[in-house]
Amino acid sequence: MTYAERFTPGTWYRARTVETRTPGLTPVQYDPRMAGDLHIPANRALGPRVVAGEIVVTNRELRFTPHRYHKSGEWVAELHEIRGIDRSPRTFGLFNGGLRPRLRLRFEGGETELFVVNDLDDVIADLRPRVDAARKRAAI
C-alpha cells in the first residue's frame, strides 16, 4: 500500500471539506484530496530550525505551505525542475530535524531542500513517478 492510499480522508488526518450550495440541489461535500493531489504533513528545514506545515504535490508543482502561526511564506517548486529525490543522512542537529533521515530534493543549480516526513520511503516512492511524468511533459 502506498503512502497516498493510506493517507486518505477518514484516517488520522482529518480531510478538509468545503460545502458548496447550488439553488435547488442538496449541499455537496467536496474534498480537495480526492482531486489527485498528494497531501503530506511535513517540516521544512530552514537553516538551524524547521517550519511545520504541509506539502501538496499536484501534477505540475510541489508546494509547501507552513501552518498559519509560522511567519515564513509558501515555497513552490515546479516538478520538472527537481533532479533528484532521496533520503538525507542524519546530521544529529537538534532543531533542524537532523535526528531523523529527511526527504532531500535536489535541483538543477545544486540547491537542495530538506523536509522531515513520516514514512519517508513511501513518500519517496510516491514522488518519483510524479516527478518523472512532469519531466517527460516538460521535454515535449
Distances (CA, A) of 33 to 38, 50, 101, 106: 7, 25, 27, 26
Confidence at residue 34, expressed as pLDDT on a 0 to 100 scale: 47
Q: Is residue 14 part of a domain?
A: no
Q: What is the pTM of this model?
A: 0.70
Distances (CA, A) of 126 to 51, 68, 119: 23, 27, 11
Is 82 in contact with 105 (CB distance < 8 Å)?
A: yes
Q: Is residue 102 part of a domain?
A: yes
Nine-digit cell string for 88:
538525507
- In the chain, which ranges are continuous DSSP H helix? 3-6, 120-139
Tell me how many domains the chain contains: 1
Separation of alpha carbons 55 and 75, rounded Å: 9
Q: Is residue 130 part of a domain?
A: yes
For residue 42, give the DSSP letter: E
Q: Is residue 132 part of a domain?
A: yes
Tell me the pLDDT of the chain (140 aa) as tens digits: 555 555 554 444 433 434 444 455 444 444 454 456 888 898 888 877 888 899 999 888 899 989 887 777 888 999 999 999 998 877 766 656 667 888 999 998 889 999 988 888 899 999 999 999 999 988 87
Degrees (nearest 5) of the Cα angle 25, 29, 35? 120
CATH number for position 50: 2.30.29.30
Q: Which domain holds residue 78?
A: 37-139
Phi, psi of 109 (to 5 degrees): -80, 5
Q: Is residue 94 part of a domain?
A: yes
Q: Which residues pair with 53 in a beta bridge?
A: 42, 66
Separation of alpha carbons 54 and 64, rounded Å: 6
Q: Is residue 84 part of a domain?
A: yes
